[in-house]
Amino acid sequence: MTKAGMFATALDELGVVLARIDESRIDAACRMLAGAGKIAAYGCGREALQVKGFAMRLYHLGMPVSVVGDMTTPPLGPGDVFLVSSGPGETTTVLALMRVAREAGAKVLLVTAEPSSTAARFADFALLIPAQTMASDQGAARTSVLPMGSLFEGALFLLFEIMVLKLKRLTNATAEAMRARHTNME
């Protein structure tokens, strides 16, 4: 496959995945985040990188967000949201943290590729990204030219960017206010 062919195939695959995401579910997830007292975000591996990028943008929007694992993450409780990504939906760390958040009274917003997974059944709200993950990257289940969970992770990045646009509108955030919240420590 040529370089141009690889790009076209990868972009086509991402487009198919994104077109299959239910926009009404995206809107509901955005409302859930916009109404949260506090938001704690978490993901494992490369999903964590996407989640951290989204948390950064939520902060730029003026939302009360932290990333689980950071020493400044506050405790969650009623009225708060635990935003978590688990493509396969069976990650033990994710399941344990979901339990902690629920026991504290927080709502769990899960982004996953597996609607029948343990995490999806345990979440208060699941947003489905129908893409190949590490759990479905071999044999007949393989659907992408991209390795392992890259299709899910790429779609996760784009989904989060769309959610930022929707949240910007929902919270009446301005580009100027977002830029003013960007760090000057770099």
Q: Please give the sequence-ordered ranges of beta strands (E in DSSP) within 54-112, or none if there are none.
A: 65-67, 81-85, 107-112
Selecting among 153, 161, 176, 186, the annotated active-site residue is 153
The tokens of 91 are what? 């990650």
> Does 153 qualify as catalytic in the annotation?
yes
Pairing of strands 107-112, 125-128: parallel
Distance CA 47, CA 156 (A): 8
For the chain, give me the number of helices (H) and strands (E)? 7, 5
**C-beta of residue 154 within 8 angstroms of C-beta of residue 146:** yes
Please state the separation of Cα 157 from the chain's center in Å.
8
Cα–Cα nearest to 40, from 92, 112, 108, 87: 108
Amino acid identity, residue 117?
S
Burial 117-143 (b: 16+ CB within 10 A, else e): bbbbebbebbbbbbbbbbbbbeeeeee
Catalytic residues: 153
